[in-house]
Structure 1
Amino acid sequence: MRRRKSPAQQKAWDELLLLINDPEWYLDKEKSKRHKQLMLIIETEEEITTSEKNDRRYQLYLNARSGMEEDIVEMLKQEMPISEIRKKYRIDARVFAYVRRKHKLKRYRRLQMPTKIELEEAYKIGGWKKASRDFGASQGTIYQWMRKYGIERNYVINEMED
């Protein structure tokens, strides 16, 4: 894909074409020096990374929709999950990540691993579900924590009577 030249680069091209119009330009020290300067201007094109291009694209998208960015920022500040925000705005989740980076908002709420005693008490009182509700973690995470601490699981065996 061709990139657009900056005005400075366009002027440098114009001047370079006039300079090399002379077949023996390279013999003149002043013209050779100016040729090097012009080539530096032309070749030092600002390098834009893919992420910067995407950020510009996301910003253009948000600029075209007034109020959307402010609304998304408010929802992110309230720590609303991305899945909930996507119900309102059916857009790519990367736009939300861009807004979060731009406004320097917290990324995610990190789970605090409970102590062995806290985890054991919550599990003994109400099982997996209570422990997962208390600590805001999935039951799988609770299981991993229990394995890490060496907490025994309670197996309930349903005995059928004849």
Structure 2
Amino acid sequence: MPRIAPITLETATPEQKAVWDETVAAHGVVTNMKATLLHSPVALHAVLEWYALFDRVKPFLSEREAILFCNAISRANCCELCSLFMRRAIVDWGEDPDHLVLDERAQTLTAFGRQLALDANGVSDAPYDQMKAHFTDVQIVDLTAFGALMIVNNLFDSALKVEPDASLRPYKVSPEVLFR
């Protein structure tokens, strides 16, 4: 059960309704996370910057690598909602999210994402040097900020027990599978 009930159109203030409409126009839907964040439109806008960074990293990552990066972070943080969101994307591509085939670049990227989530202070020179072999300084800055916002999403959803949306239910698996 969520700790804070998501805003609905029926419970929204006029300001929240306006932000709701903006969110639908930009993203097509107000998810449970966005509806919970809507209690504070400023917080919602801050977290929605994830999408701007997603658009910024996709040209040099590909959408697949961006999702794999976020998947590694979300699974390391044990965030059910975000992990299911990423799982859905991976399954919809026709891949098995529990047996991913990753080339060396994707392995480097997912290892970096996991390390950011588990202990950013633990990003040692070796994994950083591997990142430098694939990405420019600007790209690493964008990736790190993108990863940090993914962590924000994870922490928000987990701390407030935001329920996964109905569209994610078919992708639900046991925590032993989701977070290994």
TM range (shorter): under 0.3
Q: For the pair shown, which has the larger CA radius of gyration, 1 or 2? A: 1
More helix by share: 2
TM-score by length of 1: 0.25
- Per the normalisation by structure 2, the TM-score is 0.23
Structure with more contact order per residue of length (Cα contacts < 8 Å, sep ≥ 6): 2
